[in-house]
Structure 1
């Protein structure tokens, strides 16, 4: 028993919602630092204000994944989460540019990112649920295509409103320009409509059908057996939790007594809390308690080997991306255009050019989305991902040496190639290692290795830029570039087994 091949347009419909999701992310990524700085944030404070987004994802995604694995309604398994997240995200997009103070903007970012995560997380599992393995690379590439298109238009919106429609891109001190406001309004509408298209134009297999597919798949059956066997690791879970707690408490004390940057508390207090949760879960399991909490915490230890290896690749890839999203505006305005006056025309023109740069890398990602699977078939997923990440790292590093607008756009070509690969190939490599009854949960846990590097970046980049680089944000991009190249090298050590389909054996 096998899943049927879906047509091109069926895959198109099930991926179309990512167009709207990426509108939201593009507006958030390209404009949040600008909004924070306009509302009075100092450059060293911006990373900690961004912390809301990754922390929210860390909490929301595995929980949404866990419950979506266990959901079945008239709308299906994943689609109810698409819809709820889209409604909440659209409302947040309307509120964000009208924030009267810095802390209102930071709180709205938290709500907006939580809502986007509610919609986004099940989309990854949606591909694993609906497509046979031979079509999953195409499915994730289709998502990358829509992410690229949505991000192109979303990132370009402030520039379009200013240069095509004459909407002002400047405003009084502490006021968000109208070009940014109208961009967020359009993004909110597009987000909701695109997700609605997927909700009503797609179908899902029932849990019973998915279980039958897994039963017929010997490789997936083996994975299920391995996960069940690993449920016995109660002592190991307690020891790991205890170690995490000790490290978190120790470094939190060092930060306090040495009066180090307070943002570091987030990283190590978070480690302390995670360790405590591991210990609590182990003690509950010892008493034969099995509930959502114990399953969510315990299955983090039961990840398939390929997922653990991909975790390091994701960590260094997303550390680089987060450094770019936080610091590109400040690096370009300060290092390339030599201005920090947020009320000046030069600053705002440079900030608008950053949105064009982001448009270019997203446009490149959309353009190469369907070329990467072709290269992967002729070489391998690992080799293709390594090349793409190295291209992205070199693109980020090159910004340090550039002094003109066209050169900045060329640097983004490499970033765009890396972005297309990051959004598709790791998921294609991972999906074959996951059973359907835990697809949503493990896709949510996989998000940890997107979120944790963002938390690390948000807690240490501000410290590094301030203490070692004289508040010069361009050095954060250099760190990001080398991090992405390291991620590419680590890709080569990932070990995955390609399952052979019955149709391919005949």
Structure 2
């Protein structure tokens, strides 16, 4: 059920670790990188609630409810992954980022609802933790690909000015293939439950026809968000501001702060780009392992306090990057960030799923994405200006800001309300079921 996320994360990991590198290679100025990244969050803002709304109203005896969107999104995303490293102009790479991110969102958003649809409350924490495991595993391999091609297969990581290195190209080709194969595995090996009351569902679907009605229902649904969702939204805002700053500026920051270069044609810059892939491999690898430990911690201290602890630790990891000048020591920072990433992919969704009506699971999971993409849009709009005008093109300061933001996010978990006794009971039952299955 969750294996498709292994492939989806190939798309996200290659995008997060290499798109800034591609933009700079194609001639983007440092202060313009952030605004070029705006495609990613903006497409999520538009696509996810729409896909969630439509998938809630989709049913087919063979394809089910969510799997048609897995299928379509995987095909489009794989094509974008094949095309992006062959960009020969900056505008082409920026356009393909829009296509890639929109396609990833088409297949990714229903996956969150998929777990909520199929699992009872007592299994949801482990269900989302399993997604986090496959996200981490996929990202570990995808993030390492450019480094492996360069250092194991001796494929050059440098190229003439304005040309994407072959090590990056081959990484994207493999990523496109694995994305498609992994998602198709989930599409063709999993089943979905039909609506509990098909007659009532069909009647509601008929009443929902028309763009104006759909738009009105989306707006009303946003206005009627559960209180838990609003509380988590504030936490998400500061969390994703931090992660987006990392994805945009880590390559430039490591190249400047550790490798001492801003020349995109130099081997030192491309080595920095390869090492960022290793760094991202570490935080994703840690998240894959931590995904299985977080439910046990949450059973003891609650989901929200688990999330608080992990985000504060992750914020410390971000801030530590500012002070480190040795590239290998940076991996320790990524271990701390990996704990925050594991919790971010697990705890908010586990808390949220229990507060949502089953008939609108896809829609509200899409709306919840607003609070991921709005801070990213804000970061894309202002970080470039701040890095240039306030920090004198020293991109390492963007990561420092990200660390402070993540610590704020962690502390804000105190406002999130959940029934700790019920949560502990659900998670304990979940762990016991898992142990029984293993035996």
Deviations 1:6-38 (CA, angstroms, capped at 9, x unpaired): xxxxxxxx0000000000000000000000000
Normalised by the length of structure 1, the TM-score is 0.80
1:70 aligns with 2:54: no
Unaligned runs of 5+ in 2: 201-210, 430-439
Deviations 1:479-499 (CA, angstroms, capped at 9, x unpaired): 000000000000121012447
1:302 aligns with 2:224: yes
The residue that corresponds to 1:325 in the other structure is: 247
The residue that corresponds to 1:90 in the other structure is: 78
Cα offset, 1:209, TM superposition: 5.9
Conservation of the 8 A alpha-carbon contact between 1:57 and 1:113 = yes
Residues 178 and 443 of structure 1: CA distance in aligned 2, closer, same or farther (over 3 Å): same
1:488 aligns with 2:417: no
The residue that corresponds to 1:432 in the other structure is: 354
Residues 21 and 475 of structure 1: CA distance in aligned 2, closer, same or farther (over 3 Å): same
Structure number with the bigger relative contact order (C-alpha 8 A, sep ≥ 6) is: 2
Deviations 1:256-275 (CA, angstroms, capped at 9, x unpaired): xxxxxxxxxxxxxxxxxxxx
Q: Which has the larger radius of gyration?
A: 1
1:57 aligns with 2:57: no
The residue that corresponds to 1:479 in the other structure is: 401
Query: In structure 1, which of residues 153, 157, 175 is the aligned counterpart of residue 141 of structure 2?
Result: 153
1:162 aligns with 2:128: no
User: 1:429 & 1:209 partners in 2: Cα distance?
Assistant: 26
Cα offset, 1:100, TM superposition: 1.2
User: 1:487 & 1:15 partners in 2: Cα distance?
Assistant: 27
Deviations 1:320-342 (CA, angstroms, capped at 9, x unpaired): 00000000001100012210111
Trace 1:130-209 onto structure 2 (pairs within 5 A): 130-208=118-196
Trace 1:158-307 onto structure 2 (pairs within 5 A): 158-208=146-196, 291-307=213-229
State the secondary structure of the residue aligned to 1:403: coil
The residue that corresponds to 1:315 in the other structure is: 237
The residue that corresponds to 2:336 in the other structure is: 414
1:354 aligns with 2:342: no
Conservation of the 8 A alpha-carbon contact between 1:211 and 1:437 = no
Residues 134 and 173 of structure 1: CA distance in aligned 2, closer, same or farther (over 3 Å): same
Cα offset, 1:466, TM superposition: 1.3
Conservation of the 8 A alpha-carbon contact between 1:129 and 1:210 = no
Cα offset, 1:211, TM superposition: 10
The residue that corresponds to 1:99 in the other structure is: 87
Conservation of the 8 A alpha-carbon contact between 1:36 and 1:46 = yes
Residues 417 and 129 of structure 1: CA distance in aligned 2, closer, same or farther (over 3 Å): same
Deviations 1:159-203 (CA, angstroms, capped at 9, x unpaired): 011111111110000000000000000000000000011111111
The residue that corresponds to 1:23 in the other structure is: 10
User: 1:437 & 1:67 partners in 2: Cα distance?
Assistant: 12
1:398 aligns with 2:386: no
User: 1:209 & 1:346 partners in 2: Cα distance?
Assistant: 61
User: 1:21 & 1:379 partners in 2: Cα distance?
Assistant: 31
State the secondary structure of the residue aligned to 1:406: coil
Conservation of the 8 A alpha-carbon contact between 1:210 and 1:436 = no
User: 2:156 & 2:218 partners in 1: Cα distance?
Assistant: 48
User: 2:374 & 2:212 partners in 1: Cα distance?
Assistant: 27
User: 1:85 & 1:436 partners in 2: Cα distance?
Assistant: 23
Conservation of the 8 A alpha-carbon contact between 1:137 and 1:373 = yes
Cα offset, 1:208, TM superposition: 2.1
The residue that corresponds to 1:337 in the other structure is: 259
User: 2:135 & 2:110 partners in 1: Cα distance?
Assistant: 15
User: 1:137 & 1:208 partners in 2: Cα distance?
Assistant: 23
User: 2:418 & 2:49 partners in 1: Cα distance?
Assistant: 23
Greater shift, 488-497 or 152-161, is seen at 488-497
Deviations 1:285-327 (CA, angstroms, capped at 9, x unpaired): xxxx971010012211100000000000100000000000000
Root-mean-square deviation (CA, aligned residues, Å) is 1.6
User: 2:312 & 2:215 partners in 1: Cα distance?
Assistant: 39
Normalised by the length of structure 2, the TM-score is 0.92
User: 1:103 & 1:178 partners in 2: Cα distance?
Assistant: 20
| Aligned pairs, number | 414
Deviations 1:419-462 (CA, angstroms, capped at 9, x unpaired): 00000100000000101111000000000000000001111111
The residue that corresponds to 2:98 in the other structure is: 110
Unaligned runs of 5+ in 1: 1-13, 213-288
State the secondary structure of the residue aligned to 1:324: helix
